[in-house]
Each structure stands twice: as structure tokens, then as C-alpha cells.
Structure 1
Amino acid sequence: MFGQRLKLARKRAGLSMQALADHVTPSVSAQAISKYEAEKMMPSSSVLIGLSKALGVSLDFMVGGQVEALESLEWRKTSKASARDRAMAEAVVIEKLENYLAIEDILDLRPDADPFSKLRIDEILDDDEVDEKAREVRDEWKLGIDPIPSMTALLEDKGLKVIEADLPERINGMACHVKRADGPSTEVIVVARQTNVERKRFNLAHELAHRIIADVGKTNLKLEKAMNRFAGAFLIPEEHLIAEAGQNRSGMTYHEIMRLKHTYGVSAAAMMVRLGQVGILSPSAVEYAFKSYARSWRNVEPEQIGEGEGFAAFETPQRFERLVWRALGEELISPVRAAQMLNVPLSIIERDIRGPRDH
């Protein structure tokens, strides 16, 4: 496992073995690094610290024992994302997962039963079945038809680990199975901190679809398009949208579309697509929109939901932080360890332990 971590961290840094050897103190040869990565030799503690500093990663990342491998990776990225970008993202995720899984072990938390077992299907055949499955999931989870305040909180409540991280700008997120060195595997969904909340919510709903719908049948339906259709139907239920916007509209103003996107916390482009899917706007009206006034909406979000406003105030993972504070409150970890896990100054942790003091 150490060899895999070292190789990943080296790729993340964009260094050859020789370049890494030149940066390490105390001195180490490229041949030794090759043996470390091949698991043929382990470094001394001083070299291990030197490697960690040279690569800009923590010792927990280098020698952590929780995460054995990230499997079945699904990337949300642009076509320009490089191998180094992916290595950087994997390293960030592994480091965060080491802490996440460690705090669960400290609190002796066991994974819940599969929340998707009753809902999962092997294949779906057409758009109507996709919409029906989205309705079924909402019904099973008793969500009603109102907009969902937080997709992050919903998925965390259902046992998925959601991590928000500073990822390379060409990567919007990823999802994978986490193979653990000791313990049952788990799943994680990662969203890039820099991604706008509209896209975050849609990506999370898209990942939910992947955990419920295994594949599409032998039809013209494409899997990723079906996942997007599910995400739109899940976030914007047909009944609620018709009540908000009316039926069989001949047209719609920019003001109305912006109001609807803020009502459901989705992008303007996703809103336009959904208006067409439920028949509020005709296919020709939607096509015209994307050829004219909505042409730029797939790349530049109009009237973006601001940080801390509306849905943006709720779409932040909270479970890991809650677990750290719980362990701290039960004196299962030290303030120093809590500060390291939460990546905040120790002074902040100590202040929040004490609470306000009268002067």
C-alpha cells in the first residue's frame, strides 16, 4: 500500500523518480524510490518524513491503513483533464478518506444496511421508466414533491460519504468504491469546492441514479443521458413544476426561467431541458432557446446562486465534521488530532471547546 501511495503522490507532484530523489532530505537515490514503489523496500522514518515534505502530503496519507484502493472510478471532468489532474484528485480524496474512516472506527460506527436494495434495478428501457423510477425513490424516502433542500444531507443520511475538496479546476468531481484494508468496502462521492451549487446538486442526483439504475436495455437510450434524465426528474418533479409554471406554454420569459432555477436549485440549462421533458415547452421551443438566447447557458451559468444564498447555504457535507466533534466531546481524540482532521488551527478548536468567555 505504501508503494501505491508514494507513486500516486509523485504523479500528483509531476515528478520523475530522479526529480523526487533530488528534492528529498536526507538524500535518497532514484533506485531506492523505485524499490519503495515496488514494495521491495521500506524507507527509514527520516526518509519517510523527507518524502512526505518533498511531495507536500501528510504522513497519514503516506502510511494510512484505512484505504487500500479506489475502485470503479467515475470522473466528472473536462476533456482536458490530465493524468496528473486525476492523480492530484485521487491523492486529495484518499487523504480525506483516511480521516473519515478513522473517525468512524474511533466511534465504532458500523455501515447501515444497503439503502438502495429495494430500489435498485438491473436495467431501464425508456424515458418514462426513468421518470417513474425517480418518483418511486421520492415515494420510498417520503420526500413528497417539494424541492429538496440539500442533496448532500439526503445522500449522507442514506449512508453515502460525500466529500467536498479542492480539486484541479478541470475536474468537477468523482465517485468510486473504496476498498478498505480491514473492513467492508464503502462508497464515496466527491464534489469540487469550486463547482457552483447548481451543478453540485445535479451531479449528486446523477450519482444517486448510478446507484439505483445499473444499465439501460437494448434500446436507443444512452446510460449517461438516462442518469441525467433521472437527476432532472428527481430534483424537479413533474407535478410540482406544472403547478409552478403551468401546462402547454407557448413561450416563457427569462424572468420566469430564472425564478424556476432558483426554486429548484438547478442550472438554467437543466431547467430548460426539464421544461421540455414534461411538455411545458415544446421541443421546438427548447431547441430554439439553445440556439439563441440560451446558447451560452451550458458553459456560463446565468444569475448563479451566490455563496451562502438559498440552496448554497445547505449543500455542504456535514457528517464528517459532526463525527469529529462528537469524538472530541467524548474525549476519544485530542484537540490536536481534531484540528488536523478538520484542517483548522488548534486555536479555533480550543475556542469552540471552551465557548464564549465573559471579559
Structure 2
Amino acid sequence: MSETQYASLFGTRLRQARQMAGFSLRELSDRIGGAVSHNALAKYERGEMMPDGTLLIALSEALDKKPEFFFRKMQEPIQAVEYRNAHQLGEKEARTIRFKAQDHFERYLEIESLLGLKNAFANPLGKAVFSTSAGMEDAAQHVRKQWKIGQDPILNFTQTLESHGIKLFEVEAPDAFEGFSGWINAHPVIVLNFQKNTLRKRHTLSHELGHLLLKGHLGPSLQEDVVVRRFGAAFILPEKAFKDAFGGHRESLALEELIELKAVWGISISSIIMRAKELGLISQALYRRFWDDHGDAWAKARREPGDDRYAGREESKRFFSLVHRAIAQQEITRSKAAALLDINLDELREQINILS
């Protein structure tokens, strides 16, 4: 790599690290004690200059990144990003989240490469094209069949997706952020807000899964943003199994049975009611009465009865496990593992417990 290419790579990485940290150029200049001005930092980001060792260390400490981060090979940026509730998220916040996700997935792809894993993704929908909203029922069933999930509740959504080639990342983000999906080097990815509860994460995962799988599989009359909601509902609550669990068509409902359905299927009562209405299991009048009596107030409070009854957990563990596998198999050094996990060596030592 030429000096010009190194300068360009460093500049791109510097901008990425700065925006991940949420700093302006002036703020970063202040963080390094004014060692260089914000105008000089802009030149570094444009690849016009290279830092000396002293400045590189100062920038690394200010941005909480190891020096090698600034020279790590670039991957293609995340493409075809689909945000949930994008209008509620500021431009600066969205950019910070996206850069953090880019950094994580680059490290994710690197550990797969180091372990020789060929984790190519195959869309289970194949060449199917769906022309009606009702077709989302068939689409969801087809995915469940291809992935051999059956009709039972999905106990661990994150593990299901990761085992089928979808990479996940949980990021600390403002409450307005729910999640987004996209692609990096032909790999599907989903980003979740680490701070959301398990039920919210499952809802977001089902929605973003729809975006990933349905793009290019919808007829011209369908709007992707509309049908992904139905796909997600049909995937989490498959029609036949849900009808049986719900008890068929109902004229009235008890709150306790809705809480129990929530605990079994891992989805909110509001989503259960919407699914029941969608499948014709309750009348419009009963649906409206639910929202008047409960739903609107629960939505405003952002809480429902039984939020603590669902015992499942949704945590993305595959990346972490791959790094520790590589340590155990002596495929990488501990220093490299710490860099991949974006932690220091002391933190890594606390994690390691290798049996041999």
C-alpha cells in the first residue's frame, strides 16, 4: 500500500472513530489538548496528511480505539439500510450508530475469515414473488419450513437468525432508536438497541427480517414498509398454531389469557390483538374496545401487563463465541482477540477460562 493509500485509509478511519464517539472536529481537538487544530484534523480526515506516533497515540486514547484500528482494511459500507422509526432519530445519532455497526461487522467478518468460515447467505424465499399482503402468510410459512423451525414459538430469535447467516449487533443508543437492517459484503445484518427489553427486540427482529428477505420478492402493487409488518407477525405467530392457541373466533377475552399468550410466544399483547384482528379471530368492535380500554394507555406508558412474564432472552453471542473459539484453538493471539472484541487485555483475561 502506498503512502497516499495509507493516508486515505487513516483519514477514513479517523472520521469513522470520531463520529462513533460523537465528537465534532473542534471537540476532538480539545480532547487531545489542542495538539493540532480542528482544521488540521480535517486535513487528516481528507487523507492529506499522516500523523506522527505521538499524535496517533493521542487520537487513539481520545477516541478509545487501538492504534491498529486506524489502519485496518476497509470493508464496503453497510448498504440498503432500513431504519425503524427513522424520523425519531437525529441525523448525527443515526450516523454514529451506523459507524459503530460498520466497525462491529468488519470485526465480525474478520474473525470468520481467520477461522476459515464460509458463511454465505441464501434467502429461503428463493425466486418467489408475492403480489398480495395475504401472501405474507405463505412467505412466513415458507421461511419456517426452509429453516426447519416448525410451528412452535421461537424461543431464541437471535440464535435462529444467526444460525441461518444473519449477523446481529446490539448497540447502546438513544431510546428513539429501535433497529435497522442492511447488507455488508453480501451478508445480511441487523442492528438492535441494546437497552430495549426482550419483547421489543423480538418485534424489531421480525420486522427487520422482513426487510432483508422480502426485498426483490414483492409485486409492484405492494409497499415494503407495509407488508413487512404482516410478515413479521406471521413469522412470530404462525396462522394455524396461533388460531389454536387463541381458541378460534372469540366474542370476549380475558386479560390473564392474553398475558399467558404473551409469555408463551414472546410478543406484546398489542401485537397479539392486532394479529387476531388480522386473521378474523375478533370483531372490529372488540378490537376497538381493546384499544380504547387498554391499548392506547399501554402504548403511551410504553408498558403492558406481563412484561416480566416472558422468560426468554435475546442476546447476540455468535461473534463473541467465535473470538473465544479462535483463542482456544490458538488461531489468534490474545492481543488480537482483544482488538477484535474492542476491549483491553485485562478485560479479556477476566473472560478467558480455557479447558484443555
2:303 to 295, 301, 304: 301
Contact 1:127–1:229 (CA<8 Å) still a contact in 2?
A: yes
Cα deviation, 1:59-91, whole Å, max 9, x if unaligned, reads 354332143422222222463321221132123
> Structure 1 vs Structure 2: percent identity of aligned residues?
29
The residue that corresponds to 1:263 in the other structure is 264
2:64 to 47, 56, 65: 56
Tell me how large the CA RMSD over aligned residues is.
2.5
Contact 1:67–1:98 (CA<8 Å) still a contact in 2?
A: yes
Contact 2:158–2:316 (CA<8 Å) still a contact in 1?
A: yes
State yes or no: 1:161 paired with 2:162: no
CA, structure 1 residues 60+284, in 2 after alignment: closer, same or farther (shift >3 Å)? Answer: farther
Contact 2:211–2:224 (CA<8 Å) still a contact in 1?
A: no
The residue that corresponds to 1:348 in the other structure is 350
Structure 1 residue 354, shift from structure 2 partner: 5.7
- C-alpha separation between the residues in 2 aligned to 1:19 and 1:56? 14
Structure 1 residue 260, shift from structure 2 partner: 0.9
- C-alpha separation between the residues in 2 aligned to 1:305 and 1:152? 19
The residue that corresponds to 2:11 in the other structure is 3
CA, structure 1 residues 201+131, in 2 after alignment: closer, same or farther (shift >3 Å)? Answer: same
Contact 2:125–2:139 (CA<8 Å) still a contact in 1?
A: no
The residue that corresponds to 2:30 in the other structure is 22
CA, structure 1 residues 336+306, in 2 after alignment: closer, same or farther (shift >3 Å)? Answer: farther
Partner letter of residue 330 of structure 1? Q
* DSSP-derived class of the 1:143 partner: coil
Cα deviation, 1:204-224, whole Å, max 9, x if unaligned, reads 1222222221264344x5322
The residue that corresponds to 2:242 in the other structure is 241
The count of aligned residue pairs is 343
- C-alpha separation between the residues in 1 aligned to 2:16 and 2:288? 44
CA, structure 1 residues 349+87, in 2 after alignment: closer, same or farther (shift >3 Å)? Answer: same
The residue that corresponds to 1:182 in the other structure is none
Partner letter of residue 9 of structure 1? A
CA, structure 1 residues 192+58, in 2 after alignment: closer, same or farther (shift >3 Å)? Answer: farther
- More displaced 10-residue stretch of structure 1: 196-205 or 40-49: 40-49
- More displaced 10-residue stretch of structure 1: 243-252 or 338-347: 338-347
CA, structure 1 residues 118+126, in 2 after alignment: closer, same or farther (shift >3 Å)? Answer: closer
CA, structure 1 residues 306+324, in 2 after alignment: closer, same or farther (shift >3 Å)? Answer: farther
- More displaced 10-residue stretch of structure 1: 296-305 or 102-111: 296-305
Partner letter of residue 116 of structure 1? N
* DSSP-derived class of the 2:181 partner: strand
- C-alpha separation between the residues in 1 aligned to 2:45 and 2:187? 26
- C-alpha separation between the residues in 1 aligned to 2:59 and 2:253? 59
- C-alpha separation between the residues in 2 aligned to 1:14 and 1:162? 22
Contact 1:164–1:192 (CA<8 Å) still a contact in 2?
A: yes
Contact 2:19–2:99 (CA<8 Å) still a contact in 1?
A: no
Task: Please show how residues 312-327 of structure 1 align to structure 2 within 5 Å.
Answer: 312=313, 315-327=314-326
**Structure 1: segments with no counterpart, 5+ residues:** 180-184
Structure 1 residue 12, shift from structure 2 partner: 4.2
Contact 2:82–2:211 (CA<8 Å) still a contact in 1?
A: no
The residue that corresponds to 2:141 in the other structure is 135
1:86 to 79, 89, 94: 94
* DSSP-derived class of the 2:14 partner: helix
CA, structure 1 residues 125+60, in 2 after alignment: closer, same or farther (shift >3 Å)? Answer: farther
- C-alpha separation between the residues in 2 aligned to 1:95 and 1:60? 13
- C-alpha separation between the residues in 1 aligned to 2:320 and 2:212? 25
CA, structure 1 residues 64+76, in 2 after alignment: closer, same or farther (shift >3 Å)? Answer: farther
Contact 1:172–1:192 (CA<8 Å) still a contact in 2?
A: yes
The residue that corresponds to 2:150 in the other structure is 144
TM (normalized to structure 2)?
0.87
The residue that corresponds to 2:181 in the other structure is 175
Structure 1 residue 120, shift from structure 2 partner: 4.8
1:126 to 132, 140, 161: 132
Partner letter of residue 10 of structure 1? R
- C-alpha separation between the residues in 1 aligned to 2:13 and 2:173? 18
The residue that corresponds to 2:119 in the other structure is 111
* DSSP-derived class of the 1:127 partner: coil
Contact 2:214–2:224 (CA<8 Å) still a contact in 1?
A: no
State yes or no: 1:37 paired with 2:39: no
Structure 1 residue 237, shift from structure 2 partner: 1.0
The residue that corresponds to 2:212 in the other structure is 211
- C-alpha separation between the residues in 1 aligned to 2:306 and 2:87? 24
Cα deviation, 1:259-303, whole Å, max 9, x if unaligned, reads 111111011211111111112111221122112222133351313
**Structure 2: segments with no counterpart, 5+ residues:** 1-8
Partner letter of residue 222 of structure 1? Q
The residue that corresponds to 2:4 in the other structure is none
- C-alpha separation between the residues in 1 aligned to 2:223 and 2:40? 48
Contact 2:323–2:337 (CA<8 Å) still a contact in 1?
A: yes
Cα deviation, 1:220-242, whole Å, max 9, x if unaligned, reads x5322210100000110111112
- C-alpha separation between the residues in 1 aligned to 2:123 and 2:25? 44
Cα deviation, 1:303-357, whole Å, max 9, x if unaligned, reads 35449x6222xx211211221121111111223443454447233234x1269xx
Partner letter of residue 152 of structure 1? T
- C-alpha separation between the residues in 2 aligned to 1:328 and 1:235? 36
